[in-house]
């Protein structure tokens, strides 16, 4: 039996009869240890039996793994005798065992009686040739194995090492390989049953080759799948890129067609030759640029501006003087003189415009007197477009003339912007509030404006942004101002000033009834419901909710009422032909906002009523004086300006020179402090026209004669007591009228202004021209009172100054 190797490390011969341990799915090879889980009753019994047999069992494999309770016929009879190395019970009642195969064996017979199968065991003799062929086979198998091991990721490193180490014995090597081969159970069983180790190794080699092929195939498939995935990913990216490129190309196309369109416009639009040349140059630059770049946007914007300006487009002038007159009358109440001046202006314009150097109209007056709306009417009367530029608060020349294109976000100035808006180069161009422009380090907007208005220069007006000559001389410029004294002098020289001074209450009432209310009814959809405002209600709004020379506030209040009426109508609460009374006004506008300016209820010492002009119209101005022993100081309080301070000084100096005549010299022998206060200190006041008022109040205080309360006055005073002319007589008289005063003293030199005052007001008042302060005193204090005062002074022994406050009522 020399060809039979001693199987198993122990080399022990097994006894003739051994318990049988059937396995499913596993073939145990000699020289191989395996951990197994044993649960079936017969198998557990077999383990117990093994103890009696020196821990030996015959391990065989079931023919079918599916059979749970196999009969002897269900088992392969060839198997391996194995030694039980470990046998540990598990918590679930099964056993975990470690067995080691010893040698091949066959069950000659299996006995099924008893708790486990037992077999009569015959050893299978192992044939292990030891020749060149066998060694060559081992060598090539080893080579294949290393390939196999590299492909089969499931083979552990230890297993590989153990297998390699066993390669010196063909028997062990073939069994080790067989045990670790990923082969079918039948193939493994066949390997176990093969007693010839070389033949066995040949079969292993064959199986391994197959296995390698399968693994290689798997590998190829895997890498193909991977490649496939990579490719589809790549395709995705390429597609994305393609889309981006196509978009870019599309934009290029778009850009190209945009350029073509621009070019077409540059060539076809009626722009000046210089402008066309410039645009062509810019377009050439644009073509070289990336369409999305910032510079391209700048250039595009520039060309856009140039080609959209009305270089030659104009509306046809249709000045028909009669028509224009009718239109102005239809759209504006009153303002007779203003309308006449406008018509004259238009007539002259029509005749001389071609010569191109008429003066520029300036509508001057407080807000809300219809300056803007007159300008609009002029536009519609002449068939021109209308544009308006507000110059209030403009301090930067660039606002008029534009920013150079090098600035980010540069734009043309207001002039060019408005012309584009107008869409014609000959609109009526309203320059609103030219008195509210100011000058600072950013240049002088007034001088830019002067250039716009100057017929010598405005044919070639240059906006910094456009940087091209533009002819603005076709525009009909009209300016407005609240205060003509604030207009920069060089500009004022170019203007023909038309004053609008504000409306009387009756005029306001008429404007409300005829224009403002119908307009607001129209705007709020109330025209059909036709509610009516009572005259009393309108007067109430004028007096108690507005304080203005114009009608803007009145318009606003009426609009507010109309909106509330519209809501009432929607809620079906508005009766047809409802009448709006004072009560309705209070309900809708809330409590009245202003106290009515009224004359003082009685004559008072040291208090005189003056009249002041403000941008909002005329207003009453009380002047209060008190005098007391002191150091000869004059104090003026109540937010009064320098001119008015000086005027107070002048009044006091006059008084001193007249002290003798007025019987006051004894007072001036003492050092006397005089305090002049002009109440309502929150309103700044200035100007010389309060001169006679301050003088009157002072003399009243010093003589202790009360000033007549039905009297108001205005006039400048000089040191000799002469009364000098003032401005704004109309507004002042109207303010006095509104306040219920009956008499107004005014400088005789202002007589010419009387005709501006509405007849109704003139007739209702006593307007008294004066040239000297003596006349003022006689009117204000009364001749009799003055005489009595002088008599008293001559008769009385003068003891000193008596403070006036104690004798005031």
d(C-alpha 626, C-alpha 607), whole Å: 9
Cα distances (angstroms) measured from residue 238 to each of 229, 252, 361? 14, 20, 70
3-state secondary structure of 1: coil
Task: Output the six-digit token pair for 101.
Answer: 């195969």
CB atoms within 10 A of CB 125: 14
d(C-alpha 203, C-alpha 717), whole Å: 141
CB atoms within 10 A of CB 380: 16
CB-nearer residue toward ligand ADP: 79 or 502: 502
Of residues 14, 339, 732, 804, which has the active-site annotation? 732
CB-nearer residue toward ligand ADP: 104 or 371: 371
Closest CA to 28 of 83, 93, 90: 83
CB-nearer residue toward ligand ADP: 75 or 335: 335
CB-nearer residue toward ligand ADP: 216 or 373: 373
Sign of CA pseudo-dihedral 329, 332, 333, 335: negative
CB-nearer residue toward ligand ADP: 349 or 509: 509
CA 313 to chain centre: 36
Query: Which residue bears the tokens 């920069």?
Result: 488
Residue 647 burial (10 A CB sphere; 0-12, 13-18, 19+): buried
Min dist CB 424 to ligand ADP, Å, is 22
- Contact call for residues 119 and 111 (beta carbons, < 8 A): yes
Tell me, yes or no, if 287 is annotated catalytic: no
d(C-alpha 14, C-alpha 120), whole Å: 11
DSSP 676: E
Q: Which residue is nearest to ligand ADP (CB)?
A: 370
CB-nearer residue toward ligand ADP: 199 or 552: 552
- Contact call for residues 95 and 87 (beta carbons, < 8 A): yes
Task: Output the six-digit token pair for 803.
Answer: 């403070």
Beta-carbon-side half-sphere exposure of residue 163 (alpha carbons within 13 Å): 25
CB-nearer residue toward ligand ADP: 538 or 625: 538
d(C-alpha 324, C-alpha 344), whole Å: 11
Task: Output the six-digit token pair for 545.
Answer: 């909710």
Min dist CB 679 to ligand ADP, Å, is 29
Alpha helices in 547-609 (DSSP H): 552-570, 582-589
CB-nearer residue toward ligand ADP: 26 or 559: 559
Min dist CB 518 to ligand ADP, Å, is 10
Residues 6+ apart with CB under 8 A from 404: 410, 464, 465, 467
Closest CA to 680 of 641, 625, 638: 638
Min dist CB 427 to ligand ADP, Å, is 17
Residue 16 burial (10 A CB sphere; 0-12, 13-18, 19+): exposed
CB-nearer residue toward ligand ADP: 270 or 392: 392
Binding residues for ligand ADP, rule: CB under 6 A, are 332-335, 367-373, 511, 515, 550-552, 555
Of residues 171, 174, 377, 689, which has the active-site annotation? 689
Min dist CB 372 to ligand ADP, Å, is 3
Residues 6+ apart with CB under 8 A from 434: 362, 391, 446, 449, 479, 480, 481, 487, 491
CB atoms within 10 A of CB 259: 15
CB-nearer residue toward ligand ADP: 371 or 685: 371
197 — phi, psi (to 5°)? -65, -35
CB-nearer residue toward ligand ADP: 382 or 546: 546
Min dist CB 535 to ligand ADP, Å, is 17
* DSSP-assigned letters across all residues of 316-351: PP---HHHHHHHHHHH-SS-HHHHHHHHHHHHHHHH
CB-nearer residue toward ligand ADP: 334 or 445: 334
Min dist CB 373 to ligand ADP, Å, is 3
DSSP 513: I
Number of residues in the chain: 809
Residue 40 burial (10 A CB sphere; 0-12, 13-18, 19+): middle
Tell me, yes or no, if 689 is annotated catalytic: yes
Q: How many helices (H) and strands (E) does the chain have?
A: 27, 24
Min dist CB 269 to ligand ADP, Å, is 35
- Contact call for residues 171 and 232 (beta carbons, < 8 A): no
Min dist CB 392 to ligand ADP, Å, is 11
Q: Which helix (H) or strand (E) holds 535?
A: helix 535-545
Residues involved in catalysis: 689, 732
């Amino acid at each position: 039996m020399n060809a039979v190797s001693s199987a198993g490390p122990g080399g022990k011969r097994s006894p003739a009869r051994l318990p049988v341990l059937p396995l499913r799915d596993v073939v145990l090879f000699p020289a191989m240890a395996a951990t197994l889980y044993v649960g079936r009753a017969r198998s557990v019994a077999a383990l117990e039996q093994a103890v009696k047999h020196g821990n030996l069992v015959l391990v065989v494999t079931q023919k079918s793994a599916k059979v749970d309770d196999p009969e002897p016929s269900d088992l392969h009879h060839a198997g391996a005798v194995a030694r039980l190395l470990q046998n540990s019970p598990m918590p679930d009642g099964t056993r975990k065992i470690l067995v080691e195969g010893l040698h091949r064996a066959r069950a000659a017979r299996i006995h099924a009686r008893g708790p486990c199968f037992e077999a009569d065991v015959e050893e299978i003799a192992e044939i292990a040739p030891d020749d060149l062929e066998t060694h060559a086979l081992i060598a090539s198998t080893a080579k294949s194995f290393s390939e196999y091991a590299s492909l089969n990721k499931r083979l552990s490193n230890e297993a590989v090492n153990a297998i390699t180490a066993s390669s010196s014995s063909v028997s062990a090597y073939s069994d080790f390989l067989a045990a670790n081969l990923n082969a079918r159970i039948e193939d493994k069983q066949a390997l176990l049953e093969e007693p010839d180790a070389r033949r066995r190794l040949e079969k292993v080699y064959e199986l391994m080759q197959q296995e390698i092929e399968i693994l290689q195939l798997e590998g190829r498939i895997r890498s193909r799948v991977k490649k496939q995935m990579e490719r589809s990913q790549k395709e995705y990216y390429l597609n994305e890129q393609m889309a981006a490129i196509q978009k870019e190309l599309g934009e290029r196309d778009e850009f190209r067609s945009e350029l073509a369109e621009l070019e077409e416009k540059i060539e076809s639009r009626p722009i000046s030759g210089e402008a066309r040349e410039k645009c062509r140059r810019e377009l050439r630059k644009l073509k070289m640029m990336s369409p999305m770049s910032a510079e391209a946007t700048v250039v595009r914007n520039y060309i856009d501006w140039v080609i959209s300006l009305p270089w030659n487009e104009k509306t046809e002038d249709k000045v028909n003087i009669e028509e224009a007159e009718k239109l102005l009358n239809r759209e504006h109440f009153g303002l007779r003189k203003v309308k006449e001046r406008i018509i004259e202006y238009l007539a002259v314009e029509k005749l001389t415009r071609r010569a191109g150097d008429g003066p520029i109209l300036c509508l001057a007056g407080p807000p809300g007197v219809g300056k803007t709306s007159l300008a609009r009417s002029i536009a519609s009367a002449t068939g021109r477009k209308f544009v308006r530029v507000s110059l209030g608060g403009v301090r930067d020349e660039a606002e008029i003339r534009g920013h150079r294109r090098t600035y980010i976000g540069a734009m043309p100035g207001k002039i060019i912007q408005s012309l584009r808006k107008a869409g014609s180069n000959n609109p009526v161009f309203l320059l609103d509030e030219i008195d509210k422009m100011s000058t600072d380090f950013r240049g002088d907007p007034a001088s830019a404006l002067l250039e716009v208005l100057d017929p010598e220069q405005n044919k070639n007006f240059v906006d910094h942004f456009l940087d091209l000559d533009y002819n603005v001389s076709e525009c009909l410029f009209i300016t407005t101002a609240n205060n003509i004294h604030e207009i920069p002098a060089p500009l004022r020289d170019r203007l023909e000033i038309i004053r609008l001074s504000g409306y009387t209450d009756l005029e306001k009432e008429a404007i409300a009834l005829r224009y403002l209310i119908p307009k607001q009814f129209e705007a709020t959809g109330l025209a059909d419901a036709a509610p009516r405002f009572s005259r009393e209600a309108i007067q109430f709004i004028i007096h108690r909710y507005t304080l203005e020379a114009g009608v803007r506030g009145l318009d606003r209040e009426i609009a507010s009422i109309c909106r509330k009426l519209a809501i009432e109508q929607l809620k079906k609460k508005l009766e047809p032909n409802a009448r709006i009374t004072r009560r309705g006004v209070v309900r809708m506008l809330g409590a009245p906002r202003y106290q009515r300016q009224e004359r003082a209820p009685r004559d008072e010492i040291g208090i005189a009523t003056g009249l002041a002009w403000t941008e909002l119209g005329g207003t009453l101005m009380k002047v209060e004086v008190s005098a007391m022993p002191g150091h000869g100081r004059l104090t003026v309080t109540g937010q009064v300006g320098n001119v008015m301070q000086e005027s107070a000084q002048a009044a006091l100096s006059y008084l001193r020179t007249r002290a003798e005549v007025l019987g006051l010299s004894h007072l001036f022998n003492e050092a006397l402090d005089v305090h002049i206060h002009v109440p309502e200190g929150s309103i700044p006041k200035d100007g010389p026209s309060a001169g006679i008022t301050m003088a009157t109040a002072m003399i009243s205080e010093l003589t202790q004669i009360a000033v007549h309360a039905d009297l108001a006055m205005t006039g400048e005073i000089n040191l000799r007591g002469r009364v000098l002319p003032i401005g704004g007589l109309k507004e002042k008289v109207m303010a006095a009228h509104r306040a219920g005063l009956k008499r107004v003293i005014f400088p005789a030199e202002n007589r010419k202004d009387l005709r501006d005052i509405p007849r109704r007001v003139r007739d209702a008042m006593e307007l008294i021209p004066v040239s000297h302060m003596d006349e003022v005193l006689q009117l204000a204090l009364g001749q009799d009172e003055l005489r009595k005062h002088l008599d008293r002074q001559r008769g009385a022994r003068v003891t000193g100054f008596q403070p006036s406050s104690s004798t005031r009522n």
